[in-house]
Amino acid sequence: MMLYFLLLSIFFVTSNAVMDLGAPGYTCDPSLMAPSAVKPTNVHAVRPADINLVMAMGDSLTAGYCTDDTSGCHLEYRGLSFGGGGDRGLDNHITISRKTQAELSQIAIEYQQAEKAIEQSGDFDTTDDFTLVVQPWFANATLPYFANGTVNRAWWAVDCYHFSSYGHALLSSWYWKNLLQPVGDKISNANLTVPALPLACPDPSCPYIRTTKNSMNCQQFNGTCVSNGGSCTTGAQCCGGLCFNLQCM
């Protein structure tokens, strides 16, 4: 079975992009970075190492347009991209007037509130192979200013509009951190002057990509088992490859 994630206002971290920032020594406890013993069929029990395929929908920023071009814009650098959505406020900060910016900020706020409402509605939590999680790190982010108040141009590609690989990588570091933070405790005011280093590691008490359900109660997703029931702790039931504290449904 395929597991689908729909992640809004989010971006995907590529290891190459992160390396650009000089985080080659990224390590976490090996048990946290190992794939699940049994391939999860439950979207709330997916460890980072269980993920084989990532898809993103978005715009030219998502596609990494211009990222590594050195004169003019010619190509998409999808492999360097950090994903799509939520970036309009940042780009417009340097290109448009303050008034328009205020209007766009209002639209962005309403958009974020709508996303959050969909997440909280539970409309996407009716099956265990699909969920939706809002990653809010960009919502109240601090732009990449130097101490002297000027914007860090290294963030942008040659067209001064799309992100450079440095910009993508830095954004990815914050996005990665957000993915591993529980819903309700996700940072929403990333300081984009600096990358979120050292890169985040999964929480030992809930080493999964965090979802609404595993943020409320991770215990029920804690541990995999085989369907004949062998390996859950006493009192738990093996249901569909996971140990549950309740009866299987």
Nearest to ligand NAG of 14, 135 (CB atom): 135
Pick from 13, 133, 141, 206 the residue near ligand NAG by CB under 6 A. 206
Q: Does 219 sit near ligand NAG (CB under 6 A)?
A: yes
**Nearest Cα residue to 92 out of 76, 81, 78, 105:** 105
Task: Give dist(CA 208, CA 215) in Å, integer.
Answer: 10
Least gap, CB of 127 to ligand NAG (angstroms): 23
Contact 43, 130 (CB under 8 A): yes
Pick from 191, 231, 237, 241 the residue near ligand NAG by CB under 6 A. 191
Least gap, CB of 207 to ligand NAG (angstroms): 8
- Helix ranges (H only) for the chain are 15-20, 30-33, 88-93, 98-121, 165-179, 212-216
Helices (H) and strands (E) in the chain, counts: 6, 4
Q: Does 15 sit near ligand NAG (CB under 6 A)?
A: no
> Which amino acid is it at 112?
Q
Sequence-distant (6+) residues with CB within 8 A of 126 are: none
The span of 17-25, 97-105, 142-150, 160-168 binding ligand NAG (CB under 6 A) equals 142-150
Distance of CA 139 to the CA centre of its chain: 13
Of how many residues is the chain composed?
Answer: 249
Nearest to ligand NAG of 157, 218 (CB atom): 218
Convert residues 144-163 into a mask of x (bound to ligand NAG by CB under 6 A) and - (unbound): --xxx-x-------------
Nearest to ligand NAG of 65, 156 (CB atom): 156
Sequence-distant (6+) residues with CB within 8 A of 235 are: 245
Residue with tokens 């985040």: 200
Least gap, CB of 150 to ligand NAG (angstroms): 4
Pick from 222, 242, 243, 244 the residue near ligand NAG by CB under 6 A. 222
Convert residues 21-50 into a mask of x (bound to ligand NAG by CB under 6 A) and - (unbound): ------------------------------
**Nearest Cα residue to 40 out of 134, 128, 166, 113:** 128
The span of 66-74, 84-92, 120-128, 141-149 binding ligand NAG (CB under 6 A) equals 141-149
Residue 182: DSSP 8-state? P
Q: Which residues bind ligand NAG (CB under 6 A)?
A: 112, 136, 139-140, 142, 146-148, 150, 188, 191, 193-194, 205-206, 218-219, 222
